Structure 1
Amino acid sequence: MTKNHGNSIKDDDTYEALREQGASKSKAAAIANAQANDQQDPSVKGASQPPYEDWTKDDLYSRAQELEIDGRSDMDKDELIKALRNN
C-alpha cells in the first residue's frame, strides 16, 4: 500500500516509484506534483534555460547555493554541473 505523504505530495505512487529509482526527495516531489497537475506536462523539456555547460561558474555556484548543495565552494565547474544534475 502506498504511503500518504500529506498535502505536499500530489501523486504518492509516482513519488515513491521515483524515490525507489534513486531520485532525490525534491526531484521526486516536483515530478509527482507536475504529473498530478493537468496544466503541466513534465515529459516536455522546458528549454527555458541554456544547458549548464553554457552557464558561468559563478552562475552555477549561485544555483548550487540556492539548492543548498554541500561542498559547492570547493567544486570546479564540471563538479558543480554534476552536483546540480544529481540534485
Structure 2
Amino acid sequence: MPGKKNSSLKDPKLYEELRDDGASKEKAARISNAAAAKGRKEVGSKGGKSGDYDNWTVDKLKSRAKELGLKGYSAKKKSELISMLRNH
C-alpha cells in the first residue's frame, strides 16, 4: 500500500504495521479502523470470549468460517481451518 492513499483507513500507520506482521488486508484494516475509533488500548483488551480454536471441533470451525463468509473451507484440515479463521 505504500504510495497509495486509502481514505477508508483511519490509522494507515497501524495498518502498515499489521500488514508487515503478516495480517491480511481485511484484518489489518478492521483492526486499524477499530483502534482509531475506540483507541488502541480498548481494542487490544477486546476478545478472548470465544475460546481457543484448538479446542473447537472441525464442524464448529467450519460453521464459524461459514458465518464469516469465508470460501474454500469445506475440504480443509483442522489446522488449516484454524489458520484461515485466525488470519481472515
Fold match by TM threshold 0.5: yes
Number of paired residues?
86
Question: Within the alignment, does 1:36 sit opposite 2:23 as a pair?
Answer: no
Specify the SS of the correspondent of 1:31: helix
Identical-pair percentage = 47
Stretch moving more, 36-45 or 18-27: 36-45
Which residue of structure 2 lines up, in the alignment, with residue 66 of structure 1?
A: 67
Specify the SS of the correspondent of 2:26: helix
Consecutive unaligned residues in structure 2, runs of 5 or more? none
Question: Within the alignment, does 1:16 sit opposite 2:35 as a pair?
Answer: no
1:48-76 Cα distance to aligned partner (Å, 9 max, x none)? 11111222222210221233434311112
Specify the SS of the correspondent of 2:44: coil
1:20-39 Cα distance to aligned partner (Å, 9 max, x none)? 33210111011101211236
Which residue of structure 2 lines up, in the alignment, with residue 26 of structure 1?
A: 26
Which residue of structure 1 lines up, in the alignment, with residue 51 of structure 2?
A: 50
TM norm structure 2: 0.74
TM norm structure 1: 0.75
Instruction: Tell me, in whole angstroms, the C-alpha distance in 2 between the residues paired with 1:21 and 1:48.
Output: 24
Consecutive unaligned residues in structure 1, runs of 5 or more? none
Deviation, structure 1 residue 45? 4.6
Specify the SS of the correspondent of 1:73: coil
Equivalence map 1:71-82=2 (5 Å): 71-82=72-83
